[in-house]
Amino acid sequence: MRRARRRLSGWPCRPREVSTTGRSTRCRSSTGVRCSDYRERKPTKEAKIVFRRRVSLVLQETTLDCGAACLAMVARFHGIETGLRETGRLLAGRTDAYSLLQAADRMGLDGRGYQTSPEGLEGMPVPFIAHWRGNHFVVVEKVTKDALHIVDPAEGRCLASRDAEEFGGAILTFTRAVAGRERRRLNFQWVGPIVDLFAAVSMRGLVTLIALIGVALLGVGLVLPFLTKVAIDRIAGERQASLFVPLLALFAAIAGIYALLTYLRAAMGSLLRAKVDPVLYDSIFGRLVGLKLDYFRQRSAGDVVSRINSVEQIRDTVTTEVAGIGVDAIFFLIYLGVLGVQSRLYMAIALVLAVLQAAIPYLSLNLVVDRRHASIKSQAATQSFLFQTMNEMTTIKACGLEGVKRQELRKRIETQVTDAFLEREVSNRLDSWTTTMGLAAPTLLLLSAVYLTVSGTASLGESLAMSVLATALLTSLTALIGSARRVHLLRIYGERMLAIYTAEEERTGDGLKIEPGGRVEVDGLTCFYPGRDRPALDGVSLAVGHREAIAIVGPTGCGKSTLILALLGLIDPARGTIRYNGIDIADLDPQYLRSRIGVVLQDSVLFSGTIRENISQGRPGGEEEIERAARLAEIYDDVMAMPMRFDEVLNEGGKNLSGGQRQRLALARALFGSPILLILDEATSHLDPETESRITANLKAMDCTRIIVSHRLASTHNLDRIYMMRDGSLVEQGTHTELLERDVTYRTQFELASPSRN
């Protein structure tokens, strides 16, 4: 039979070519690995859909996480308790189907890949992973005649038509491998960050006091039923009117005690929050700024801020609900025990009502979590869009994009409102059920009390006392259900915090502290960005001696800025070394190293505050040092011409300054404190030649080593050495004269950049 070859279109993965012989499909990966697990699937009428339970939602944190999130969802469905971080480590940043199959095999799943039509999905075992929108993975948990029930790691649960254009035709199915695999138990991994958050907070005394006040309040609830019995049997039944005034006074005293205890509990709660908040925010922010740069490069600002704001929800739940759950549970059992002593029949009735009251909220917990997940994610996306829009308003107005951005915001708001509405809808249904039970249960309890009285089983006072007691039981159950629901939602915020607490941290404080002003050596440096197979830097080697000035030049995207980030220890090398004074950068304290280097990055920003604060940034050094740095950066005269001089207040990003002023102010910040090593990445690209020439002369007079990245070759020809980069590699090095003589590309670029040619 003739063999036909075709491309597996829309499949963002290593298996790039499939060979079809009849119904069998085989693929070869781009690494040469042959995979026989890909087959072309024909729809079968006999196939039946098997769907046992819902897939547990796992949301992606970045666009590169969709495959890892889908694999985690499928693994959980098959009884392998895992999470996004574990599957992400197995995938090692890869997002192709072949890597998913390999990772699944290591987890104890047998996976197969199929290329099929929408009609062929009907016979597939669910859940399966489907290729979606050309660059995304989703989990399909149910297939019906007209729709696909999708669990999207980016958006949550949704429906799509069977013939949706987004479906790329490729799917991965999984089954649990034979016994002998270990079951991973990471269900409560999210608790760790919460424990770490509160570890530094001394709040045991306040929490204990709040719990004791709660016990006292519920104790009042035990007294009231017995007072009701006395009021009915002794005063109304036996006509003992003399007890009326004392009983009324006792009721008033109990009401006053209840009001006082309620106020004290609220006051203690406010005091606890005031004590906890500074410590919690300091803890989470300290952890956040200690993470590696990759964490922030892969996430939006809105998402990160949303995770920080999770602290508020965690604080409220831990300080209020956790203690409340214990107290409510204890008193629920106490109320139940007292009812059992009084009347087992009445206890049974109360238990039936309690089960009915708790059943619907319990069965809806997963739906509540899914809705909250979606609501949080859409809110974070809207925040990110607003942050970006506010920061880029000049560009938006210059390009006339106001209408486009307004329309985009409207769509995001609609999504956010829809998700919030769906979340409220679930809450409203649960509240409606709770309210209905709150009205129906006391009526049923009262009728039961009347029945006990009529049947002679109990006196009217005893029956009403049991009714009040049972109502208190159901009230405590209502509070218990509400607290349990909020604690269950705590998992959402705990998992969002887990992303911060499990992200890789920079080394802090355990490295050597040396001055970086001696020899800087780079040997065979190779670096990758997450999710990319092509290296950003490939075997780069260079050396800079003390007080030398070198330039790194090359076309846009050749890896110059990446090399600078690697020199600062912001990117870890896959291979090769960086040494300062002969010591590997991995053995140095990164924070101390950077504090001794003056840096102006290509995208350096200014902060809200005065010019003085922007230059010094809280570092030691007086007014003279600030002025010296400003003079070296040729910004001093500009500052003195401003109304408030060094006390001139800059808005966010320094947008009330010109581009050249912002660059010179960033340079002054780098020069503050007389750094031993100066790294400048396009630090003078916005300056005129005359100003740039004066700054170059100022820097040359300084006792420091300089590494300069520039596109403008005319500004680098007087340096000690020039390195040319192309496609992540160093292709040539030498002095300006040497490169003019032997490198045609350099000579052409220099002639184009020469002022005489302009």
What digits encode the pLDDT tens for the residues 332-379? 888 788 888 878 888 888 888 888 888 888 888 878 888 888 888 888
Sheet of strand 24-28, all strands in order from the earlier edge strand to the far edge: 4-7, 17-21, 24-28, 34-35
Question: pLDDT-based confidence at 406, cuts 50/70/90?
Answer: very high
CATH 2.120.10.30 fits 191-501, yes or no: no
Q: Is the pLDDT of residue 743 over 50?
A: yes
Helices (H), ranges, 290-322: 293-297, 301-316
Helices and strands: H and E segment counts in the chain: 23, 23
- Determine the average pLDDT of the residues in 21-48: 36
What tokens were used for 285? 């922010």
In 3D space, the residue among 487, 454, 576 whose CA is nearest the CA of residue 524 turns out to be 576
Q: Is the pLDDT of residue 203 over 80?
A: no
Q: Is the pTM here over 0.95, yes or no?
A: no
CA–CA distance from 582 to each of 164, 307, 518 (Å)?
Answer: 59, 41, 9
Contact 579, 543 (CB under 8 A): no
Strands (E), 297-448: none
φ, ψ (nearest 5 deg) of residue 275: -80, -35
Return the pLDDT at 723.
93
Q: Which amino acid is at 413?
A: I
Return the pLDDT at 618.
85
Q: Is the pLDDT of residue 328 over 80?
A: no
In 3D space, the residue among 79, 73, 36 whose CA is nearest the CA of residue 58 turns out to be 73
Return the pLDDT at 8.
35
- Distance, CA of 303 to CA of 62 (rounded, Å): 10
Return the pLDDT at 742.
82
Dihedral, CA atoms, 120, 126, 127, 130, nearest 10 degrees? -10
pLDDT exceeding 70 applies to what percent of the chain? 88
Q: How many other CB atoms are found less than 10 A from the CB of residue 577? A: 14
- Determine the average pLDDT of the residues in 115-143: 89
Question: pLDDT-based confidence at 124, cuts 50/70/90?
Answer: confident
C-alpha angle with apex 272: 269 to 277, nearest 5 degrees? 125
Greater model confidence, 476 or 568 = 568
Give the model confidence (pLDDT) of 570-585 as tens digits. Answer: 998 999 999 998 899 9
Q: Is the pLDDT of residue 390 over 60?
A: yes
What one-character DSSP code corresponds to residue 392?
Answer: T
Half-sphere exposure of 711 (CA within 13 A, CB side): 11
Q: Is the pLDDT of residue 188 over 70?
A: no
**Highest mean pLDDT: which range of 214-218, 233-237, 313-317, 403-407:** 403-407
Contact 39, 23 (CB under 8 A): yes
Return the pLDDT at 187.
54
CA 597 to chain centre: 31
**Highest mean pLDDT: which range of 114-123, 334-343, 484-493, 664-673:** 664-673
- Distance, CA of 214 to CA of 208 (rounded, Å): 10
Q: Express the helix, strand and coil content of the chain in percent, nearest 5 each.
A: 55, 15, 30
Where do the structural domains in the chain lie, given as residue ranges?
4-176, 191-501, 520-757
Half-sphere exposure of 341 (CA within 13 A, CB side): 7
Give the model confidence (pLDDT) of 269-306 as tens digits. Answer: 888 888 888 888 888 888 888 898 888 888 888 788 88
Q: Answer positive or negative: Cα dihedral of 199, 204, 210, 212.
A: positive
Within this chain, domains 4-176 and 520-757 share the same CATH topology: no
SS3 state at 608: coil
Average pLDDT, the chain: 81
Bridge partners, 292 (sequence order): none
CATH architecture of 4-176: Alpha-Beta Complex (3.90)
CA 704 to chain centre: 40
- Determine the average pLDDT of the residues in 432-451: 83
Question: pLDDT-based confidence at 200, cuts 50/70/90?
Answer: low
Q: Which amino acid is at 428?
A: N
Q: Any idea how long the chain is?
A: 758
Q: Is the pLDDT of residue 470 over 70?
A: yes
Return the pLDDT at 407.
94
Q: Which amino acid is at 292?
A: K
Give the model confidence (pLDDT) of 634-687 as tens digits. Answer: 999 999 999 999 999 998 788 889 989 999 999 999 999 889 899 999 888 888
What tokens were used for 268? 């203690």
Return the pLDDT at 31.
32
- Determine the average pLDDT of the residues in 521-533: 88
Which range among 35-49, 336-350, 499-513 shows the weakest confidence by mean pLDDT? Answer: 35-49
End-to-end Cα distance, the chain: 66
Return the pLDDT at 694.
93
Q: Which residue's structure tokens are 């010109």?
A: 658
Return the pLDDT at 510.
66
Task: Kindly report the CATH number that applies to the domain delimited by 520-757.
Answer: 3.40.50.300
pLDDT exceeding 90 applies to what percent of the chain? 24
Question: pLDDT-based confidence at 10, cuts 50/70/90?
Answer: very low
SS3 state at 576: strand
- Determine the average pLDDT of the residues in 723-741: 90
